[in-house]
Structure formats: C-alpha cells, structure tokens
Amino acid sequence: MHHFYQTLAGTALALSMSMSASALELNSVAPDFSLPNIKTHTVSHLSEYRGKVIYLDFWASWCPPCRTSFPLLETLYKKQQAKGFAIVAINMDEESEAMERFLTLYPASFDVLRDPEGVWADTYGVEAMPSSFIIDKKGMIRHIHSGFSKADIVDIENKIVKLLAE
C-alpha cells in the first residue's frame, strides 16, 4: 500500500511540474513578476509594460554572451523605444557588485531588475544564459531565445519590428 501512495505522489508531482512548464509555451501569458528596479529603486512589475513589445532578458555578469548582447540590445532599444518597445533585463547575480561592474563596462539605458535568488528565472524555465522572451503588447510570449551570438540581433529585431506593427 505504501508504494501506491509514493507512486501517486510522484505522478502528482510530475503532473504539476509539467503543468508549470507548459505555462511558458509560445502564445501563453507571460507570468507577472515583482522585482527591484536598480534604476528607479522601486519594485517593477511586468504588467507595467503592458501595451509595449517587451524583450525580457535573463542575464548574469559571468555570462560571456551577455557581453555581446548588451551593447547590441542598447542600440536596438534606442532605435525602437519611441515605437513602444521596452527591454527588461533581469540580473541573476547573487552579488550586486558583480552586476554593477558589468553595467559600468556595458551601460544600459533600459530597465535592469534583480532576481538574485532566481525565483523568476525558475518560473520562466530559464536553463541558459542569457535567455530571452519576446512578449507582445497583450502580454503573450511570442518568441523564446536561449544564448546569444552577434548574428542573433538581426532576427530579434525583425521579430520585434513585426510585433510593433501589430
């Protein structure tokens, strides 16, 4: 009888894990979060950006591809910001000093939030650095991207321009 309950509990756990994983499929609603914003020194929520196309980027100072992505994202942000585009970069560093050193080398005018415990990275199912989610004006996840190379920015910008036109 004991084995039956272990099996039942394991099945329930697997089911709940698959249900939470399926929450981040394409065209699903992006989970709202509350995280400290290092620029405004307030708490920011994803819902504050509703009505804009959002590039939600999970990154860390120790991530080599993030050094490539940040200057390119900064250029993209400045180019598309006035058209209703936002970048929300969620830093995963445990130590804020590491993040601050990174941002000194790779400045960002877009919003940078902190998730040192990785709570929201887990919610979004982040498995690689950086990982990004392109979210449409209605708050739906339309594209998911893991990693980053210089050539990726062209495809990312094309996707964002299409969503801005919707």
pLDDT at 2: 41
Token digits for 109? 């005018």
> 8 Cβ partners below 8 Å, 6+ apart?
none
Contact by Cβ (8 Å): 53, 86: yes
Within a domain: 13: no
pLDDT of residue 43: 95
pLDDT of residue 26: 85
With respect to residue 1, please indicate whether it lies within any of the assigned structural domains: no
What Cα–Cα distance (Å) separates residue 128 from each residue in 31, 58, 81? 19, 9, 26
Q: How far apart are CA 83 and CA 161, in angstroms?
A: 9
Structural domain harbouring 147? 26-165
The Cα angle at residue 110 between residues 83 and 130, in degrees rounded to 5: 110
The alpha carbon of 97 is separated from its chain's Cα centroid by a whole number of angstroms, namely 21
Per-residue pLDDT tens listing for the chain (166 residues)? 443 333 333 333 333 333 334 347 888 999 999 999 998 999 999 999 999 999 999 999 999 999 999 999 999 999 999 999 999 999 999 999 999 999 999 999 999 999 999 999 999 999 899 999 999 999 999 999 999 999 999 999 999 999 999 9
Residue 58's DSSP bridge partners are 90, 131
Is there a domain that residue 47 lies in? yes
Task: Give the CATH number for residue 91.
Answer: 3.40.30.10
Is residue 55, in this structure, part of any structural domain at all?
yes
| Residue 59 located in a structural domain | yes
Residue 50: what residue type? R
Q: How many domains does the chain have?
A: 1
**What pTM was estimated for this model as a whole?**
0.85
Does residue 5 fall inside a structural domain?
Answer: no
In a domain, 82, yes or no: yes
Residue 72: inside a domain? yes
CA 88 to chain centre: 7
